[in-house]
Amino acid sequence: MNRAFASKFAMMFCLTLVALFISIYIGSRFFTHIDLMLYGYIVGTIAFIGGFFYRFIAWAERPPAKIILKKGIKLLFRKKTPQTTVEHLATYRFIWNRGIYRWTQHILLGWGCILSCMVTFPLVFGWMYFTMSENGMYTIVAFGFDLMRIKADGFIAYLFYNALNITAFMVIAGVFMALFRRIKNMQARAEQNFVYDFLPLYLLLFVSITGLMLTGSNIFLHGYGHPVITLIHQWSVIITLIYLPFGKLAHIPFRPMSVFAKNYREHYAEQQMKTCKVCEAEFVSTEQSNDVIQVLDANQIHFKMDEGFHLAELCLPCRRKYRMSRFTGIPTHEIKYREANQNAKG
């Protein structure tokens, strides 16, 4: 199989497209429930898949990433994996510690985008569609099977009709919160730039607003301008999908890797901790310290010191002191003192 393709990227991309094609074929009942007006979203999705695989394989080929993936997969069935998955991918608890404002912003943006995808892609690919009987009942069909029957004028049907409108308001609120923070927060203003930090937010905002304009055209303008708005909205989604793997929004599909990383840190920290060669404080797992040394050696980066230890065997405060001593000649690394704040200067 490997010889049939030019690279792993080509093989994975081809197999993914074949799997997507088969799922569309089965889910849409042999292409009988495909809306050809939505073909642009399929093209955008294919471009996104190609870009994602390119980024993922380029990242996974790096020695540190290989270690995280290899050991993370082995630890996937830890007892704490479900809790870690919920905290990192659902509740964003790790952001809660940074403040309720940033947590709310990420909840609105994250879940607004996720729910939008959960509604849009099944409809575009024909995995889910609706049929209506003469008695005013909708039947929700998923992959050719009748999932549930709902009243056409009921509350559940109302939520289905307006699901994308609700998620659009969530994304808009999250974008405005992010923009306000980037304008007011001095640290964010110093670190940000337009293309990397602002452009993704403007793309999400434009997609959400044009999506709401489709609903507004139907309700308030009796469909006036609907074809033009449809094209604008579709192109905005396609451009966003193509850009997504290559910009700041790429952390959305890469986010599940954080579960591997946390499992890696916690599991090996429970086994044995590494003590700093200077202050003798435990700062990281022995396994992680050894992996860092191995990765650096693989890249021909050697931090073996004259004193007989590796720089990776020092905690962050002592490492900073040691580097300062090498530049200044002052033996500050020999002082048995650990800083309370590892981010402190000096």
**Between 94 and 239, whose confidence is greater?**
239
| Interval 246-299: pLDDT, tens | 888 888 888 888 899 999 989 999 889 988 887 788 888 999 888 888 888 877
**Do 13 and 161 lie in a common domain?**
yes
Predicted pLDDT of residue 332: 62
Of 227, 256, 285, the residue that ends a domain is: 256
Report d(CA 63, CA 151) in Å as an integer: 55
Q: Cβ distance 295 to 317 under 8 Å?
A: no
Q: Which two tokens stand for residue 52?
A: 């994602």
Residue 306, C-beta contacts closer than 8 angstroms, at least 6 positions apart: none
What pLDDT score was predicted for residue 241? 92
Number of domains in the chain: 2
Residue 171 to residue 106: CA distance in whole angstroms: 10
Do 173 and 276 lie in one domain? The reply is no
Taking the C-alpha atoms of residue 19 and residue 5, their distance in angstroms, rounded to an integer, is 17
In this structure, are 30 and 155 located in the same domain?
yes
Instruction: Output the pLDDT for position 340.
Output: 47
Same domain, 239 and 315: no
Indicate the helix (H) or strand (E) that contains 60. helix 39-60
> Do the Cβ atoms of 95 and 105 come closer than 8 Å?
no
Average pLDDT over residues 76-99: 90
Please state whether the predicted TM-score (pTM) of the whole model is above 0.85.
Answer: no
Task: Tell me, yes or no, whether 183 and 228 share the same domain.
Answer: yes
Residues 226 and 292 in one domain: no
Which residues constitute the domain of residue 105?
Answer: 7-65+98-256
Asked if the model's pLDDT at residue 337 lies above 80, the reply is: no
Rounded to whole angstroms, the Cα distance separating 111 from 68 reads: 26
d(CA 292, CA 286): 10
Of residues 300 and 95, more confidently modeled = 95
Residue 329: pLDDT over 90: no
Segment of 214-228, 309-323, 332-346 carrying the highest mean pLDDT = 214-228
Task: Give pLDDT, residue 100.
Answer: 93
Q: Coil, strand or helix: which one is 49?
A: helix
Tell whether 251 and 278 lie within a shared domain: no
Q: What is the DSSP string of 213-238?
A: HHHHHHHHSTTTTHHHHHHHHHHHHH
Domain assignment present for residue 77? The answer is no
For residue 240, give the nearest of 252, 258, 256, 228 by alpha carbon: 252
